[in-house]
Amino acid sequence: MDTEPRTVRANGIAQAYRVRGPADAPPVVLLRARGADGSDRAGIAPAPAARPRRVYAPDLRGHGGSDRPGGYAYEAVRDDVLALLGALGTCRTTGR
């Protein structure tokens, strides 16, 4: 994984993420339980990236380098992840 997080604005907040693997490879998203940040996935990221895959490890809202908006419902986290992937061009979302 990149040691420095990248940041994109999606779902109304700044979201930090780390990335590894070729830009044109199929994406894999590594999510963790609520806590810490995407850097804790650095140890497992090389395996999927070696296939090749483009591996993303986001910092969920309120963690790591992402904004702390004060609302942490699972639906908000879901919407953040979908918006992040849409902003990165890895998938198209249908809005909620």
Structural domain span for residue 74: 6-87
Q: Tell me how many domains the chain contains.
A: 1
Cα four-point dihedral sign 14, 19, 23, 24: negative
Flag whether 56 is in a domain. Answer: yes
Residue by residue, pLDDT tens for the chain (96 residues) are 556 889 999 999 999 999 988 888 888 898 876 555 556 556 665 666 567 888 899 999 998 899 999 888 999 999 999 999 999 998 765 554
- Tell me, rounded to whole angstroms, the distance of Cα 48 from its chain centroid: 15
Q: Report the pLDDT value the prediction gives residue 21, as an integer from 0 to 100.
A: 86
Residue 35 sits in a domain of what CATH number? 3.40.50.1820
What's phi and psi for 18, nearest 5 deg?
A: -115, 155
Flag whether 92 is in a domain. Answer: no
Residue whose pair of structure tokens reads 């990236």 in the numeric block:
49
Q: Report the pLDDT value the prediction gives residue 39, as an integer from 0 to 100.
A: 62
Flag whether 76 is in a domain. Answer: yes
